[in-house]
Structure formats: structure tokens, C-alpha cells
A and B are shown apart, each in its own frame.
Chain A
Amino acid sequence: SQTIHQWPATLVQPVGSPLSLECTVEGTSNPNLYWYRQAAGRGLQLLFYSVGIGQISSEVPQNLSASRPQDRQFILSSKKLLLSDSGFYLCAWGVGGGGEKLFFGSGTQLSVL
């Protein structure tokens, strides 16, 4: 069966520090991968999506970047965090891209202080 792993679950970082969040998927090949950010109790903002290794589409220009070094690995990074980067970060995967079900990880709660 397919599973998605996202870590860490919580993270507290000072302003200006770097960030690396990792997401891996098991049990499927060539998934479409997504990074979303969610403000408390609100909707999800699409940050990046990837349809293949090395292929990254950015939806929101900001100080975050994403990379897909392997088929089932998706990494969200920042060189210098801002206070506004705080939020709940969710990784998701889907297959097909035509409105199929998205499977979400358990999320990372990031607090930038």
C-alpha cells in the first residue's frame, strides 16, 4: 500500500536560519508531488508541484524553493526564514493529474521566531 512520510512534525526556527523539510512516498511510482502551506484553520496555499524528477513548478514567488532529487522524494527549502514563513506545511501526492485523489502527509508545524 502507498504511504507518505513527512518530517519533522514540529519545528521552531529563528528568523534568518535555513530550512529543509523532507517528504517521501512509498508504494507508487512517478507520483505528482505537492507542497502546500496552511494558515491556522484556513485553506491550503499551493507552493510547489512536481510531475517528475527535477521538474518543479512554483506557484508563489517567495524565499522558499523545492527540489525533487529522486522519484519519490520532495524537499522544501529556504536559505533564510522570515517570520511570515510560519505555518503548517503539507506534502501531498497524486497520480494522473486529472483530479484524482490527493494523499496528504501528517504535516510540519513550523514556527519562525
Chain B
Amino acid sequence: TQLLEQSPQFLSIQEGENLTVYCNSSSVFSSLQWYRQEPGEGPVLLVTVVTGGEVKKLKRLTFQFGDARKDSSLHITAAQPGDTGLYLCAGVPGTYKYIFGTGTRLKVLA
């Protein structure tokens, strides 16, 4: 069974602080995605990383795919209350299947 473990599970920080969320697995993925989910809604895609070592930036969010394509990180600079939500990584081991991580619930306090 392929598992994606995220850490931390919960994170509560003050506005303006930086944070990093980790997504780890013992399996290799052809690509990895990060989603953000609001309460009562479906997840929305933030980014897809494909190449080992790849780094992508989306405004204050920086995503990195591990060199061995088994792990990924999401770094948020100067967090804002609008960043609050559930962050989910999703690994694609081959075709069709998307394996989601355990989730990180982020709360940014004003």
C-alpha cells in the first residue's frame, strides 16, 4: 500500500511567519501535486511537480519535489489569514491513480 505522510498534522501560526509542510513516502511517484481545501468543499490544485529536484513558486508559496521523487515540501513565506486551510499532497505512482497524503491543517492568526 502506497502511503503519503504529511507533517505536521496541525499548524497554528501568526500572520507574517514562515512555515514548511512536508510530504514523505517510501514510494517513487511520477509526479506530485499539492491541493488546498476549504471546509465543506473539494480540494483545488495549487501545483504539479514532475522532475526530481524541481522547484516551483506560486507567489509566496514554494514547492519542491525531492531528488528521488519520493517526497515534497511546501514553504509559505509571510503567511496570511487567507492561507488558512487544509493542505494535501497527492502522488501519482503511474497512470490514473492519485494517492493523497494525510493532510496538514493550517491556521494563520491575524
Contacts and interface: CB of A to CB of B under 8 A. Distances in A.
A1 B50 CA distance: 26
A24 B108 CA distance: 35
A36 B105 contact: no
Given A99-B31, A99-B48, A104-B42, A41 B105 contact: yes
Nearest to B105: A41
**Interface magnitude class on chain A:** 20 to 34
Contact of B43 (A32, A42, A44): A44
Given A90-B42, A106-B42, A46 B97 contact: yes
A44 B97 contact: no
A97 B96 contact: yes
A42 to B, nearest CB: 5
A81 interface: no
Interface of A: 32, 34, 36, 41-46, 49, 51, 57, 59, 90, 92, 94, 97-99, 101-107, 109
